[in-house]
């Protein structure tokens, strides 16, 4: 039996494939390299010493995906294929809703037709909108997303809830990621944003290596300990491992729809991150204070207790390791 991983050459997908292979699972990857590179597949093989099946296709293509299900014995699907750039989603709502929402619907339809009903979905802390309570638990209110990317995650969560209600032989885990950073310790896979990065850590590493001049810190008048935005940064390898726990939960528990936060439960500000990065790498990160970025919130960090109690999962890597591994990846390229 194999695990089908859509978007398996992407940032979180590739790290999860490594963990799947390390735990001796058979893997089938579907990726069309729309936001990733073929070299990633070789890197995964190098890291794990293991092989997998690969299809260069669009995950939303029903006919081609049906063939993948017919040619392989698929046990469960992990869906990482999706567009994820917040700013771009505002410019291209049709593309985002088509790829993320319609794409997932097509995938679920093909799964149903092939009687495969184990599904792990990559959701995001963004579904909580502007959180009313910190730390955020899974039963906090969702909604109030401020961009089509975030809304696409919210819509898919609702679709999954409706699907489960209609047929509770489905086995679904929704994982709400907080802010993944870092890279595999080998430095062979990591985050590869196209163009100028939007997210904090990819920007910081490019300032440190001189590709970009200085970091703009978006706002220093937030209601936080130093005025800059606070987030729950989680090492991508910890996040990847959370998917193994999610699969084990489905193997043990079976039918149900389960929702978990994947975060560390700790909040760090932008300036905390700059300081931690400088200390753990010895590199300087020049920065200036810039105006707030539209749609940003003050504070967002998780209460990860439910994942600990029900999945037996906790994030193990600290901020120092996250900074070191982010830096190691960009240096090795």
Contacts to ligand UFG by CB under 6 A: 84, 86, 124-126, 150, 178-179, 198-200, 203, 215-218, 229, 231, 270, 293, 296, 300
User: Any catalytic annotation for residue 149?
Assistant: yes
Nearest approach in angstroms of CB 104 to ligand UFG is 16
Exactly one of 149, 164, 258, 329 is catalytic; name it. Answer: 149
Rounded Cα distance between 154 and 167, Å, is: 20
Strands 118-124 and 171-177: parallel
Nearest approach in angstroms of CB 204 to ligand UFG is 8
Nearer to ligand UFG, 2 or 146 (CB): 146
Nearest approach in angstroms of CB 36 to ligand UFG is 16
Rounded Cα distance between 264 and 321, Å, is: 13
Element (H, E) at 1: none
Nearer to ligand UFG, 189 or 299 (CB): 299
Q: Which of 207, 202, 96 is nearest to 145 (CA)?
A: 96
> Degrees (nearest 5) of the Cα angle 121, 139, 233?
60
Nearer to ligand UFG, 150 or 190 (CB): 150
Of all residues in this chain, which one has the CB nearest to ligand UFG in the complex? 229
Nearest approach in angstroms of CB 311 to ligand UFG is 20
* Prior bond of 186 cis (ω within 30°): no
Give the DSSP per-residue string, 225-274: SSSS-EE-EEEHHHHHHHHHHHHHHHHHH-SEEEEEEES-S--EEHHHHH
Nearer to ligand UFG, 2 or 227 (CB): 227
Residues with a catalytic annotation lie at: 149
């Amino acid at each position: 039996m194999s695990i089908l991983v859509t978007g398996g050459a992407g940032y979180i997908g590739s790290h999860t494939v490594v963990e799947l292979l390390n735990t001796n699972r058979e893997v089938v990857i579907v990726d069309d390299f729309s936001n990733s590179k073929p070299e990633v597949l070789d890197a995964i093989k190098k890291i794990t010493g293991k092989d997998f099946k690969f299809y260069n296709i669009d995950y939303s293509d029903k006919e081609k995906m049906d063939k993948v299900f017919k040619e392989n014995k698929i046990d469960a699907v992990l869906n990482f294929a999706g567009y994820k750039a917040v700013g771009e989603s505002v410019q291209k709502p049709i593309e985002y809703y088509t790829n993320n929402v319609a794409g997932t619907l097509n995938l679920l339809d093909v799964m149903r037709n092939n009687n495969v009903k184990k599904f792990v979905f990559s959701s995001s802390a963004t579904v909580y909108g502007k959180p009313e309570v910190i730390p955020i638990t899974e039963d906090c209110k969702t909604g109030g997303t401020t961009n089509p990317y975030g809304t696409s995650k919210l819509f898919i969560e609702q679709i999954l809830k409706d699907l489960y209600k209609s047929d509770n032989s489905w086995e679904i885990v929704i994982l709400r990621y907080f802010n993944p950073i870092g890279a595999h310790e080998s430095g062979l896979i990591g985050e590869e944003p196209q163009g100028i990065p939007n997210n904090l850590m990819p920007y910081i590493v490019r300032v440190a290596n001189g590709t970009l001049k200085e970091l703009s810190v978006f706002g220093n008048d937030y209601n936080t300990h130093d005025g800059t935005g606070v987030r729950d940064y989680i090492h991508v390898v910890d996040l990847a491992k959370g998917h193994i726990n999610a699969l084990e939960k489905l193997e043990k528990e079976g039918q149900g729809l389960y929702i978990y936060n994947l975060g560390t439960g700790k909040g760090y500000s932008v300036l905390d991150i700059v300081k931690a990065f400088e200390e753990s790498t010895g590199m300087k990160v020049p920065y200036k204070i810039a105006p707030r970025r539209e749609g940003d919130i003050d504070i967002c960090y998780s209460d990860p207790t439910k994942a600990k109690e029900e999945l037996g999962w906790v994030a193990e890597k600290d901020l120092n390791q996250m900074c070191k591994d982010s830096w190691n990846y960009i240096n090795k390229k």
